[in-house]
Amino acid sequence: MSVLLSIANIQKSKLADTLYAIFIMYRLKLVYKKEPRTQTLKETVTYCASIELYTDHGIDCAQCSATELLFESERDRFFACLYLSASTSFTPVYLD
C-alpha cells in the first residue's frame, strides 16, 4: 500500500511541476501583416522563425499554435521580439 501511495505522490508532483512550467512560460504572438492563404503556411513560417531564433541567436522556444511561440524566460522573449521585428511578414507582439 505504501508503494502505491509513493507512486501516486510522485505522479502528483510531476503533474504539479508540469502545470507550474506551463504557467511560467512567456508567449510571443506573430501577427501576420498579409494573412497567409493557408493555416499550414502560417504554421510553417512560425516554425521557421523558431528555428532561426535557435540557430542564429541561440534562443530556444516552442511553438504552441500557428502564430505563437513560448519562451522560458522574459529575456529570451525580449530578444526574440527584437530579432523578429525585422520581418516584413509579421509583427511580434507580447502576450501576457
Q: Which CATH number fits domain 25-95: 3.40.50.300, 3.30.70.260, 3.40.50.970, 3.30.360.10?
A: 3.30.70.260
CA distance 37 to 72: 31
Within 10 A of 38 (CB to CB), how many other CB atoms are there? 10
All three cell numbers of 65, joined, read: 499554435
Q: What is the Cα–Cα distance from 37 to 34, expressed in whole angstroms?
A: 9
Is residue 29 within 8 Å of 67, Cβ to Cβ? Answer: yes
- Please state, in angstroms and rounded to a whole number, the distance separating the CA atoms of residues 79 and 14: 30
Model's pTM, two decimal places? 0.72
- pLDDT-based confidence at 25, cuts 50/70/90? confident
Which pLDDT tens digit goes with each residue over 26-45? 999 999 987 767 888 889 99
